[in-house]
Each structure stands twice: as structure tokens, then as C-alpha cells.
Amino acid sequence: MDTNGVAVPPRPTDWQPEEIQEMTKFSAFTSHPGEEILELYCLNRLEEEEAAGIEEHVLLCESCQQRIADLDGFLKAARQATRDLRSEEKYSEPSLSWAWIRRPAWAAAGALALLTIALAPSLRTGSGELQTVELSAYRGAAEEAGGGVATARQPLRLEIDLSGLASENCCTLELVDANGKVVLRTTAAPESGRAAIEASKGLAQGQYWLRVKDSGGQDLRELSLSVN
């Protein structure tokens, strides 16, 4: 036959025809494999005989090739997301509280705290005490007017204004560092117009961004935070 000048790979020395006959004795699927078995195949959790049947089927079945490609993408994302989740849970326990805003006394106290911080940033609490910072400076033009400022390595509560966001898509809050690495993540509902996220151990010095994302992962807002 015409090989178009392409070098033929050397035949492996341990490649015995008898072995090939043995390995090819399994029969292919005569119908599409089910979702469960295909997933186990993608996870490499099938016995050789079962995997062989699927691979023979997939050699000729384009729709199952696409199903495997989709499953591979899902599994990769699932591993990454669950890994991130576990490492975040180990690192800190981000908490989101809405109840305070619904109670008048707490709402008043919260407003007072915000006012205090807004008027006298130098009065931030000492090391070990919770500091509260309201984020309102958006990335872009408003950023130059000054974003939120916090003290490093001190418990931190960030408060965010969510007014104007549609409730059906809202929200995931992500605090990322200057390299885009997610430091904290939590979910929020915009009904009361505000959300808070806490870093119980505080943050290392640097520039951070708090991203408000919709349920599809699309950025809705991005707010600036400097930690000194």
C-alpha cells in the first residue's frame, strides 16, 4: 500500500499476535452505553473487558465520542471545583449573614458601624478585633476615588451593596487577590439589598477585588479592597 512516505512506527517487540487475539475477544456494544457506565469509563473505574467494549463502540460512534468529550469536561470541572471547595473549607469558614439587616436594632447598629468607619477610618479596631469595611468603589473610574481599606491579618467583615441586581440570577461573592486567585467565596441573595462576607483570620497585605457574579458565573460588579 501507499504510505505516502510516512514512517511506520516500529512494531513493539512484545507485541505477539496471540496476545492481540486474546485482547480482542470482547464484543462491542450493540447499542449506546448508558450514562452511568460511560461515566465510570471516563473515571477509569471499569474492568478491562467493559472498557474494551466501550472503546470498540466509540471507535465507530460519533455521538458517544461527543458524550465522552462532554463527560470529560464535566468531570474535570467537578474535580477542580470540589477540590477548591475543600481547600477553602479548610482554610476558613466564610459566613454570610442577612438576619442583622432585618432586625431594626441590628440594622441601626450596623449603620452606625458603617458611619463610624466611613467618617473615621483611622479608628479601625486593634489587632484581633473584627473590622468592618463597606465596599463601594467600583473598578474603573470610581476606583481612583478610593476603595475599601482594611488592616492585614485582622478579622474582617466586608459589606456590599447589592441594590439594583435582579434576584433571579444573584449572586456569588468572590474575593480574589491581585493574581486573580479566589480567597473567599460565598453565595448571597439580593432581597435586602446588602450582603456581607467575613474572613475570620483576616487577609494578607495586598490588593483584592470582590466580585459579584450571577448564577451563570458572569461578573456583575467588581469592588476594590486594599489591605495594608
Partner 1 sequence: MSALSQPEKAEPLPDEPAPLEAEAKQWTPLVERIQAGDDAAMSELYVLFSRGIRFYLCRQLQSQEVDDKVHDTYVAVIQAIKRGDLRDPERLMGFVRTIVRRQVAGYIGHAIQARREQVDVEAGNWVSDGKSNPEQTAIDQQNAEIMRSVLDSVSKKDREILTRFYLQEQTQERICDEMDLTETQFRLLKSRAKARFGELGKRRVVRSGLSALFLRKKGPDGH
CA atoms within 13 A on the CB side of 85: 8
Using an 8 Å Cβ cutoff, are 137 and 221 in contact? no
Using an 8 Å Cβ cutoff, are 158 and 184 in contact? no
Q: Segment near partner 1 (CB under 8 A), from 92-100, 121-129, 138-146, 208-216?
A: 208-216
Give just the sign of the alpha carbon dihedral 186, 187, 189, 190: positive
Give, as one character, the DSSP assignment of residue 145: G
Binding string to partner 1 for residues 26 to 65, with x set by CB under 8 A, is what? xxxxxxx-xxx--x---x-x------x--xxxxxxxxxxx
Q: Segment near partner 1 (CB under 8 A), from 25-33, 130-138, 154-162, 189-197?
A: 25-33
Q: Segment near partner 1 (CB under 8 A), from 6-14, 96-104, 118-126, 148-156?
A: 6-14
By the rule CB under 8 A, 179 interacts with partner 1? no
CB of 22 to partner 1, least distance (A): 9
By the rule CB under 8 A, 25 interacts with partner 1? yes
Question: DSSP characters for 163-207?
Answer: TT--GGGEEEEEEEETT--EEEEEE---TTSEEEEEETT---SEE
By the rule CB under 8 A, 112 interacts with partner 1? no
Rg (CA), the chain: 27
Query: Can you tell me which of 13, 49, 75, 168 binds partner 1, judged by CB under 8 A?
Result: 75
In the complex with partner 1, which residue's Cβ is closer, 62 or 144?
62
By the rule CB under 8 A, 105 interacts with partner 1? no
CB of 62 to partner 1, least distance (A): 6
Give, as one character, the DSSP assignment of residue 82: H
Place of cell 471507535: 59
By the rule CB under 8 A, 79 interacts with partner 1? yes
Pairing state between β 206-214 and 170-177: antiparallel
SS (H, E, C) 111-155: HHHHHHHHHCHHHCCCCCCCEEEEECCECCHHHHHCCEEECCCCC
Place of cell 477509569: 44
In the complex with partner 1, which residue's Cβ is closer, 19 or 129?
19
Residues near partner 1 (CB under 8 A) are: 1-4, 6-9, 11-12, 15, 17, 20-21, 23-32, 34-36, 39, 43, 45, 52, 55-70, 72-86, 172, 185, 187, 213, 215-218
